[in-house]
């Protein structure tokens, strides 16, 4: 990793509270949290934003949120994010076949019109040469109300920041998901087993 974690006792007390919650949720402290924790106030704000986006009262279905975050993580080559978000996707009831098809959702019959609209929008926003076309906007307007569209845009922006941070610092997967990761490479989507991806 480009930045190394500090010993847990070296972080401020309020950051260690976030780590305690991570340990309850995931069974361990997340490596990115240890790195973000080097900037405590930024990490605290980030954790609160994540909590708001992941709240029960969100206008976006939990499984849809996870589909979007996994796809963005694939595009940004964030093996850690694919691992942790795909594990959440599994917990939210999405099967292995659909997770494995996510990199090829356009040609798969496993995805609903709502999911297709969200994934097309997420890809258009995430790819640096992407464009949110009139067709993508029309599909979003058909499937989501304005509140949901605003929140979906915020989720996409958040996941891009998170996955780019982790990919740039070379954060490895922590072994959360048993499904092989689909991590796109320069030659396109390719299946990479967890051992090969370091998880």
The three state secondary structure string of 7-35 is: CHHHCCHHHHHHHHHHHHHHCCCCHHHHH
41 in Cβ contact with 35 (< 8 Å): no
- At residue 81, does pLDDT exceed 50? yes
Instruction: Count CB atoms within 10 A of the CB of residue 13.
Output: 7
CATH number for 54-183: choose from 1.20.1290.10, 1.10.540.10, 3.30.499.10, 1.10.230.10: 1.20.1290.10
Instruction: Reply yes or no on whether the pLDDT at 64 is more than 90.
Output: yes
Give the pLDDT score at 82.
94
Distance in angstroms (rounded) separating the CA atoms of residues 169 and 106: 31
pLDDT per residue over 122-176, tens digit each? 999 999 999 999 999 999 999 999 999 999 999 999 999 999 999 999 999 999 9
Domain boundaries, the chain: 54-183
pTM of the model: 0.89
Mean local confidence (pLDDT), 84-94? 95
Q: What is the pLDDT of residues 135-144, one digit of tens each?
A: 999 999 999 9
CA 70/CA 94 separation, integer angstroms: 12
Q: Are 64 and 118 in contact (CB under 8 A)?
A: yes
For residues 184 and 75, is the Cβ–Cβ distance under 8 A?
yes
| Nearest partner of 167 among 41, 71, 32, judged by Cα | 32
CB 108 within 8 A of CB 101: yes
Q: Phi and psi at residue 191, in whole multiples of 5°? A: -85, 130
């Amino acid at each position: 990793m480009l930045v190394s974690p500090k010993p847990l006792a070296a972080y401020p007390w309020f950051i260690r509270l976030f780590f305690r919650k991570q340990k309850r949720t995931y069974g361990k402290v997340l490596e990115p949290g240890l790195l973000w924790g080097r900037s405590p106030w930024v990490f605290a704000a980030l954790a609160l934003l994540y909590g708001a986006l992941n709240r029960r009262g969100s206008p976006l279905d939990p499984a849809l949120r996870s589909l979007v975050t996994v796809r963005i993580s694939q595009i940004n080559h964030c093996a850690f994010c694919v691992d942790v978000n795909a594990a959440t996707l599994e917990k939210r009831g999405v099967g292995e076949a659909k997770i494995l098809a996510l990199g090829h959702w356009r040609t798969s019959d496993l995805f609903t019109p709502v999911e297709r609209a969200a994934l097309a929008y997420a890809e258009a926003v995430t790819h640096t040469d992407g464009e949110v076309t009139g067709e993508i906007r029309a599909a979003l307007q058909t499937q989501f109300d304005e509140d949901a569209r605003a929140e979906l845009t915020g989720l996409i922006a958040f996941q891009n920041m998170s996955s780019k941070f982790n990919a740039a610092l070379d954060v490895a997967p922590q072994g959360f998901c048993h499904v092989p990761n689909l991590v796109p490479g320069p030659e396109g989507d390719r299946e990479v087993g967890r051992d090969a991806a370091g998880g």
